[in-house]
Copies of this chain bind each other. A is one copy, B any other.
Amino acid sequence: MLSKKTQYALYALTHLAKEYGKGPVLIGKIAEDEKIPKKFLEGILLELRNKGIVSSKKGKGGGYYLLKRPEEVTLVEVIRGFDGAIALLPCVSEKYYEECSSCKDEATCGIKSIMKEVRDKTVELLSNNTLADIILKENMLKNI
């Protein structure tokens, strides 16, 4: 399971993607619409800002806005940024690899080989989908 933080980040980013190019959106507006605790969301947006995905404007008329284009933000980067590895086992992770503590030979480990298939498929799906795809799917589902 993704942490609440990651889930909220995905909903907040989708919200901002829908308002892309329309100027800053208030934290309070996002929090209310997406039902995210406001103070918690503040911290999440700050993290997204540090990662260079969103930017903000202070003072009256301020708020948050997407810095990258919606087509450029993949789900995998958001999830990795908050929760870390996608893989189910450390010995199978691309970005957070750790040597297997239990098995004698990673090259012939059967568990590893299955978990690697799972990771590859998951990464594939999460890399091929961006914020733009989320909106696209939403529109497709609505118009039919």
A residues neighboring B (CB under 8 Å)? 1-2, 7-8, 10-11, 14, 34-36, 75, 79, 84-85, 87-90, 101-103, 107-111, 113-114, 117-118, 121-122, 125-126, 129, 133-138, 141-142
Q: How many copies does the complex hold?
A: 2
B102 and A114 within 8 A (CB): no
Identity of the chain B residue whose Cβ is nearest the Cβ of A132 in the assembled complex: B110
Known interface pairs A133-B110, A138-B108. Does A7 touch B118 (Cβ–Cβ under 8 Å)? no
Chain B residues, Cβ within 8 Å of A117:
125
Q: How far is the CB of A69 from chain B (nearest CB, A)?
A: 17
- Bound together, the chains give a CA A36 to CA B142 distance in angstroms of 51
